[in-house]
Amino acid sequence: MVLVDNVVPFDPEPQIFEAMLEGWARQQRVRFLKKETIDRRLALVRRASRFSGQYPWQWSAAEIEAFIDGLRSGSRPIKVSTARGHLTNLQLFLGFATDPRYGWAAVCTERFGQAPQQVLGEWNTITHANEYEGSPERRPFTYDEVQALFDAADGLVESVRARRRKGALAAQRDAALLKMFYAFGLRRREAWGLDLADLRRNPKMPALGQVGVVQVRWGKSSRGGPPKRRTVLLVPEMDWVVPVLQQWVDEVRPLFSPGAHPAWWVTERRGRMSCRRMDDVFASVREAAGLDEALDLHCLRHSYITHLIEFGYPERFVQDQVGHRYASTTAIYTGVSLEFRNRLLTQSLRDRHPELWEPAL
């Protein structure tokens, strides 16, 4: 409990509420949850309190249900996965507030005559019924769309140069950035955290130069753990990215005057490129290429996984490359083409019924 002993607050309700939130935040900090996760959860509880006009010890199931119902209506309704996350976080908060080990129920009963109740359970929360609940519009790029995206990025470089305007170096960086996302199947934060020392030679494939291996140090964490690490190998089908990245690091990056900054991707202000800036780069190039707005930067990762499968790499190799704990997650990302599936079908038929391919007499 985060209260000062033997002190009666002048305005007790908001002070007790904030003390309760601080206690919950501390509980999460000792579990080493990320600060942004904790802040997001606290903001949600405050938002629910503002919506209801009540403090948590006054909440009923109907108040929380009305809060979520309000979020799913309007011009920008939340998705099912977002609603599940909100309900889960509110359930966790109420679990903390009602836990007798923290004493908040006794404090609220003594001061307000009411105690917080756990008003969320299986009767009014959302079960996780499907492995993938993202937008059905999200999909891998086709090969032609990948090429169109890269052509548009290169075209923006030439356009800026032709007009003799500032920004040619940034455009070159942006084109190389998008190609790296696809060639290594990276997430945004993984690309954000790359340093010069994280790209190195693969002794088994010296032809790939200094970019044969990427050491990812900022992989997606889980359950409050630290960022996961993995090693991503550049596959031969993506060797076209080698001269692109070598030109970036040897010729273009030094022109940004980054000094001793270790980041692989730097800005005009000599800092590390942000994830938001990477999203903006992708959006502008996608628009220039005239591609579907449903395609986002993460779809390049979907494309990488799909294309590795179509290249014939084993599923376990692909799973390790992209850092998935379970093969089922990799399968969700995979959207192989009709041509690839027909090729597999034809091969299976040839193996089982070779007589179908024998010439007629």
Q: Same CATH fold, 143-347 and 12-112?
A: no
Per-residue confidence band for 344, with pLDDT thresholds at 50, 70 and 90: low
DSSP class of residue 212 equals: S
Quote the pTM value.
0.74
Nearest to 16 by CA among 82, 132, 110: 110
The tens digit of pLDDT for each residue in 18-52 reads: 999 999 999 999 998 889 999 999 999 999 999 99
Domain ranges of the chain: 12-112, 143-347
Give the architecture (CATH level 2) of 143-347: Orthogonal Bundle (1.10)
Q: Give the Cα-Cα-Cα angle 122, 77, 57 (nearest 5 degrees).
A: 45
Burial of 261 (0-12, 13-18, 19+ CB in 10 A): middle
Backbone angles phi, psi at 110, to 5 degrees: -65, -40
Contact indicator for 215, 198 with CB cutoff of 8 Å: yes
The tens digit of pLDDT for each residue in 226-285 reads: 889 999 999 999 999 999 999 999 999 999 999 999 999 999 999 999 999 999 999 999
Range among 64-73, 156-165, 339-348 rated most confident: 64-73
Give the residue carrying structure tokens 């010069």. 196
Q: Which CATH number fits domain 12-112: 1.10.150, 1.10.10, 1.10.3470, 2.120.10?
A: 1.10.150
Per-residue confidence band for 10, with pLDDT thresholds at 50, 70 and 90: low
**311 pLDDT exceeds 60?**
yes
